[in-house]
Amino acid sequence: MTIDLAKHASSTTRQKSAEGLIISDHTFDLAKFKGELIFTGKGTRGLVIKNAKDIEIKFQDCVIDNAGTGVVIKFDGRTERVKVNGTNTTKLYGKAGNSQSQMIYFVGTWNDIEVCGFFIDQRRDNKTGTTVTGACCQTQGVLSSTHNLGMVHWHDMVLMNCGDEGFYNNHFQNDGGYCQGKELIVENCRVLGCGRDPFQHWGFDKVTYRGCYGENGNKEADKNHFSCFSLNGDTEELLIENCDFKNVAQLIYCGVPSKNATIKALIRNVTYEQGTHAGSRANQACYLKGPGVYRFENCYINAPAVIYGAFTADGCSVEVSKNCTVSAPKLFRDAFNGGSYEQITPDPVITKTVGEITIQTTKTWDGLETVQYFLPSGQELKP
């Protein structure tokens, strides 16, 4: 089924419920729907999609330019094993100013979701003060002791002028009955201006950020809440690789330590330019909480405005490879709660080349046999 948002906006041509899809105004209930669902055309109101299960929902050549301040695309009810695909042809625009709610928002009970292919401009006014908006893309925590969020995968998206966080995954407080997720993957996503952390997560066992980019330099919604990555709660495996950030107060901030897990984190091939927009949290470039180990490999960290040091270890071990380039007034801040630092020698690079060799066997008249090995150049290989 294809729904043209421009036609649907008109009460005289609004598409009726069909094929098990229940439509009420701009709410679409998929509890009994089976088949393909495509949104197209231009709309000026937010959508509510309920009870999506085992389906790919496509937005094809679609523009939603929100005239109000409500959520632009909201998933509610029970959402399970769903892919939301902007097909790299869809643009979402929030209401200009500082009152736009989330642009893509998962609430209710959900698990195993994939979102990709959207260009989103939340239209926050980055030159004015504190906002009251929601994060640009958010998954809300599920209050359940038995549920598991499964995998969450965001990829190939551009976010601009975000009100609060760019990506805010599994929001919950104090672990009070909220469930964990198995894995969070964020790949090839760009966040260009936001009021708070470009990337923040809570409560996933395994987390990967790969190929992401972020920059800010504008006024922050919360002067005490801005880092490229904000990490919170019970993550056992963390990988941040091939990412690039500019003009952000901090690279990493661990807000809530793991209560039930020991983290093993690898940060590699990351470029971070603090820039002139240091903000008031520039005590360090990386504030890291344990228990566990954070290892940095082949990173470039330029943090001239830090007050205490490039790295702070709070109850964890921080390993910085000698192949990292770090520019800061001091490399390590005095550790907290038994934290420690180590500068490590990078592993050697081993290159293997597969080629042909000639094996020459010589046997004399009296039965003595010798074996020789020659490279194509004629050079003999000897033990």
For the segment 238-297, what is each residue's pLDDT rounded down to a tens digit?
999 999 999 888 899 987 766 778 999 999 999 999 887 655 557 899 999 989 999 999
Q: How many CB atoms lie within 10 A of CB 251?
A: 27
Residues above pLDDT 90, as percent of the chain: 56
User: Using CA atoms, how far apart are residues 112 and 53, in angstroms rounded to an integer?
Assistant: 10
Give 13's pLDDT tier (boundaries 50, 70, 90).
low
Closest-CA residue to 195 (of 93, 126, 107) = 126
Furthest-apart CA pair in the chain: how many Å? 104
- For the chain, how far is it from start to end, CA to CA, in angstroms? 71
For the segment 170-205, what is each residue's pLDDT rounded down to a tens digit?
766 545 678 888 999 999 999 998 888 899 998 889
> Residue 223 above 60 pLDDT?
no
For the segment 16-67, what is each residue's pLDDT rounded down to a tens digit?
777 889 998 899 999 999 889 999 999 999 999 999 999 999 999 999 999 8
Judge contact between 240 and 213, C-beta under 8 A: no
Q: What is the CATH number of domain 2-351?
A: 2.160.20
Q: Give the 3-state secondary structure of residue 112.
A: strand
Our CA dihedral for 154, 156, 137, 56, rounded to 10 degrees, sits at -60
Measured in degrees and rounded to the nearest 5, phi and psi for residue 101 equal -75, -170
Kind and range of the H or E run holding 239: strand 237-241
- Between the alpha carbon of residue 130 and those of residues 164, 219, 230, 250, the distances in Å are 9, 9, 19, 19
> Residue 216 above 90 pLDDT?
no
Judge contact between 304 and 274, C-beta under 8 A: yes
pLDDT value of position 279: 53
Tokens standing for residue 250: 């901090």
DSSP state at residue 143: B
Region class of 222: left (phi > 0), else alpha (psi between -120 and 50), else beta: beta
Cross-strand partners of 93: 65, 121
For the segment 310-349, what is each residue's pLDDT rounded down to a tens digit?
999 999 999 999 999 999 999 999 999 999 999 999 878 7
Closest-CA residue to 140 (of 160, 120, 111) = 111
Give 232's pLDDT tier (boundaries 50, 70, 90).
confident
State the SS3 of 176-207. CCECCEEEEEEEEEEEEEECCCCEEEECEEEE
User: Using CA atoms, how far apart are residues 333 and 114, in angstroms rounded to an integer?
Assistant: 39
User: Using CA atoms, how far apart are residues 17 and 355, in angstroms rounded to an integer?
Assistant: 66
The C-alpha R_g of the chain, in whole angstroms, comes to 26
Q: Give the 3-state secondary structure of residue 15.
A: coil
User: Using CA atoms, how far apart are residues 333 and 318, in angstroms rounded to an integer?
Assistant: 11
pLDDT value of position 341: 96
Closest-CA residue to 228 (of 269, 263, 194, 276) = 194
